[in-house]
Amino acid sequence: MIKMTEQQSILITGANSHIGKGLIKYFIEKGNVKLLLTSRSVNSDLSKLNSTSIKYIPGLDLLNNDNLATLRVEAKAFFNTPFSLIHSVGNFWHHVAFQETNLDEAKRVMDSHYATLYGVCHNLLPLMKETGGGRIIAFSCNSVNFNFPYMAAFTAAKASVESLIKCIAHEFAQNNIVANALALSSIQTDAVKASKPFGDYEHYISVKDLCVTTDEVLCMKSAIVNGNTINCYTFSETYYHQGYFERIKTK
């Protein structure tokens, strides 16, 4: 865990997700942090965290313009110094054949991963400029590099996330805003374990390790690591010595 002498200010979207909850736990344990948390659903446990340094806003649909405007107002009232955005929003993906994924489902996937990020950044970047800059991290997937089968809609959405992050980084570097994407391999969550019962679960990325890595990227003093997709993975014997269809088998 990185020690900081100055307070960190962080907005975490998707606070009710498995990764979101892990990030919240990590930063609370780290201390000296100001957290603004949002989720589309309502979580009473997160509501209990409300204090002078933590504020939870439930019921925010990041595809709704009025809700995005509310987020901008809340962020403006909560942050008066540079702050970071960690975007942890996006529907879980099961391996599904292209022909079994209709256009409506593909749009839902694109909306949940890409359009939410676009809307949040579109509303918050002016505030980041006003407060002196900030850091943005969004999560992608290593499938963008490898173009795995049965992941077309999800991979296309994550490719859009990466492209958006790079465009933002280039356009707003002059405003002391740094944006990077973390491309994840499989994560140690219950949903992933259930979808890959024969996977090398012990060598998937732990949520704690992901939190540490996210924090390390946020805490970089230099702004030159900007507009990147940073690959995150741990070594797995099965990943490097098995084929794709062996790794995703379900029975």
Tokens of 149: 């089968």
Residue ranges of domains in the chain: 8-247
DSSP 177: E
pLDDT along the chain (251 residues), means of 10: 75 97 97 97 95 97 98 97 97 93 98 98 98 97 94 97 98 97 92 84 91 96 94 82 72 54
The closest of 152, 68, 139, 36 to 103, measured between CA atoms, is: 152
Instruction: Give the contacts of 171 (CB within 8 A, at least 6 positions apart).
Output: none
Tokens of 139: 């999560």
What 3-state DSSP class applies to 227? coil
CB-based burial label for 243 (10 Å; 0-12, 13-18, 19+): exposed
The whole-model pTM stands at 0.93
d(CA 237, CA 218) in angstroms, rounded, equals 30
The closest of 59, 1, 5, 72 to 32, measured between CA atoms, is: 5
Tokens of 110: 């694109």
d(CA 36, CA 51) in angstroms, rounded, equals 11
d(CA 193, CA 248) in angstroms, rounded, equals 11
Tokens of 29: 């344990």
Contact (Cβ atoms closer than 8 angstroms) between residue 124 and residue 78: no
The closest of 133, 154, 165, 149 to 230, measured between CA atoms, is: 165
Amino acid at 67: N
Tokens of 204: 């998937």
Amino acid at 235: F
Strand partners, 33: 8
CATH code for the domain defined by 8-247 = 3.40.50.720
What is the residue whose two structure tokens read 């995703």?
248
What 3-state DSSP class applies to 195? helix
